[in-house]
Amino acid sequence: MDKLAAKGRIEELRRILAENSRLYYVENSPVMSDMEFDFLMHELEDLESRWPEFDSEDSPTHRVGSDLDGNGASKGFVQRPHRYPMLSLSNTYSIEEVEAFAQRAEKLLEGRNFSYCCELKFDGVAICLVYRQGKLFRALTRGDGKMGDDVTRNAVKISNIPQELTGSFPEEFEIRGEVLMPYSSFDKLNSQRLLDEEAPFANPRNAASGSLKLIDSSQVEGRGLYCTLYHIPAQSIGEDFAHSHSELLDKAASWGLPVSEHRKICRNKEEILEYINYWDKARKSLPYPTDGCVIKINELDCQRELGYTAKSPRWAVAYKFKAEQALSKVLSIDYQVGRTGAVTPVANLEPVLLAGTTVKRATLNNADQMALLDIRIGDSVKVEKGGEIIPKITGVELSLRPADSKAPEFPQFCPDCGTPLVKSEGEAKWFCPNASGCPMQIKGRLLHFTSRKAMNILAGEQTVEQLYNLGFASCPADLYSLTISQLLQLEGWKQKSAKRFLDSLAESLGVPFERVLFALGIRYVGEQTAKELAAHFGSIDAIMQASLEELAAVKDVGDAIAGSVYSYMHSPAELEQMERLRKAGLKMATEGEKTMLSNALEGLTIVVSGNFSISRESLKELISRHGGKNASSVSSKTSFLLAGSKSGPEKLNKCHELGIRIVSEDEFWAMIPGGRQPLGESVLEPTLF
């Protein structure tokens, strides 16, 4: 590899790792396995060591993966500094590298009497607990290692985190560990999410992270979270308090803290390997997810001598178990048509237990992948979950192949609408070009539009299926014209279901422009690309007016994406839909360039207090987009108080003192164009609220 190629690959790896780190830590929706991520990170480390002139302090190799979003703290949480940096561990999938770690330690600590503390590596979300005078004072997430989100109000809802300690403990100290979601809690949560037509969590780690960041702390208690603690920074308690890491954990357990009992003191690399080999099998019987073993130098003075890198301690290493694999039989192969028309083969398998869940299906990606695997119906195939996330077939056990097996033929026509499939030069996938008439594409676009990361509308696969089959919705804009009488025709729907759906439509009006752009489902435009386009152009109108060259000049947007966006923005059918969405009240510009709905509230300063039929944030958004100004407290400048049920008594009293008008929710709807009619057989137009 020459210098120019190395520079290009380094930049590419940094982009890939940064985006997948964000998906893992911030969005809790990983698309890459841990192993794939780690291999790319090791490749980047190797390239930066070989080409030091391209190294950078901003590289992912020098930073801890962060659970903070791009604006700092996660929404709804205060960001606070860690007293001591909260680093990550260097990790490996190689036993040879574990042996090399032990050999380096023996060489560097030659003549010293030291041991190793071997522990399980838990697959959850990192947390740091601070105790003052025996009482839980603060709980922080890892964040970026220097700053973390204050999740204390949620941590106190985790049943095995003690709020008060027993015994003799330091006046103040911190202890770190992991918040986990046991398999039983994970299955229960996902079952409920499916019933509520919400997207299920990909794995227990994501579910634990999402639960720890719930804005409503009352919901945390019902999530069944579990905490296990494994590290007290020696600096936080003084050098003379204990002489080893294991001694510190024993003391923590005596104070009532939940410390893992599955640890062992080892004296040499043979004992370390014995521990790893035992738990590689025994972990499958544990009630919570683990993904490896951690080996630490046990003696604290040896830890201090070995020190730290910018990213991790030199006195510890994590060995990660390879993805669990199982053998299953291919029963049949389905061909699914996605929202962009891409046809994806999916293997239906004999049910097999893998990494704590039952696997029945695995994607085959495309025709080339099928040919590469030479997969056939009736084959016994090797299935694994990369990073214990998405099942995939990694190979065929040819010795078990039936004698009369035949290679499946990839369809030439769309399996849904019968249109001949097409494949562009350089593309791996076959596509159905019938975007406007293919039912699976239409329903796929509706599902994408309503998904949590897009418009977050309460409409799962079953709802979309019913709306399409009844002729009520064939494009996203149709959703905003639905009436209560139409919704009550959906099987199993009552007044409450219809109201929840319409409320979620109303709340979707507050979704920022970048997510609206993502929700449109433009081919190749993912979340990150939508953000880049929104930030660069600021509004849908500016994107419509942009040339191909201007689109391609945007960060991370190449010719293929630019062509797709340009084509979409010049399609008469898509232009008509975007105009309908604009009239429905969706944000078609970034903040500062809001799409106004009317000037009915112009010049009015309004304070919102209490509970309403839609969220207060949605009401505030409506006030702003009808020309009004939101205020947080009542003053002589307040035009009126918009009061719902359980309004704050202090605000009500202040209004009475100052003679400020108090307006009910019904009166508010009457103030804005179109109003909002009550529930019943009347038409409820979400476009008006």
Residues marked active site are found at 121
For residues 102 and 116, the answer to whether their CB atoms sit within 8 Å is yes
Q: Quick one: how far is CA 124 from the chain centroid? A: 13
Q: The tokens of 173 are what?
A: 């100290």
Q: Sheet containing 629-631: give its strands across.
A: 629-631, 605-609, 640-643, 661-663
Alpha-carbon radius of gyration of the chain: 28
Residue 271 CA neighbour count, 13 Å, CB half: 12
Q: Which H/E stretch holds residue 466?
A: helix 461-469
Amino acid at 620: K
For residues 505 and 457, the answer to whether their CB atoms sit within 8 Å is yes
Q: What's 632-675 look like in SS3?
A: CCCCCCCCEEEECECCCHHHHHHHHHHCCEEECHHHHHHHCCCC
How many of the other CB atoms lie within 10 Å of CB of 590? 17
Regarding beta strands 640-643 and 661-663, do their DSSP bridges make them parallel or antiparallel, or are they unpaired? parallel
Give the C-alpha separation, 585 to 629, whole Å: 18
Give the C-alpha separation, 463 to 282, whole Å: 42
Residue 316 DSSP SS3: strand
72 DSSP assignment: B
For residues 414 and 343, the answer to whether their CB atoms sit within 8 Å is yes
Q: In this structure, what are the phi and psi dihedrals at residue 130, rounded to the nearest 5 degrees?
A: -115, 130
Residue 374 DSSP SS3: coil
Task: Specify burial of residue 163 (Cβ count, 10 A radius: 0-12, 13-18, 19+).
Answer: exposed
Q: Which of 535, 515, 512 is nearest to 453 (CA)?
A: 515
Four-residue CA torsion sign, 35, 36, 39, 40? negative
Where would I find the beta strands (DSSP E) of 492-567? none
Give the C-alpha separation, 178 to 678, whole Å: 48
For residues 106 and 281, the answer to whether their CB atoms sit within 8 Å is no
Please give the C-alpha separations between residue 618 and each of 39, 483, 611, in angstroms, as whole numbers. 44, 20, 12
Question: Which residues have CB under 8 Å from 616's CB, separation 6+?
Answer: 608
73 DSSP assignment: S
Question: Which residues have CB under 8 Å from 49's CB, separation 6+?
Answer: none
Q: CA angle at residue 110 from 105 to 113, to 5 degrees?
A: 85
Residue with tokens 């009436």: 483
Give the C-alpha separation, 587 to 581, whole Å: 9
Give the C-alpha separation, 182 to 288, whole Å: 4
Q: Which of 270, 262, 272 is nearest to 297 (CA)?
A: 272
Give the C-alpha separation, 641 to 661, whole Å: 6
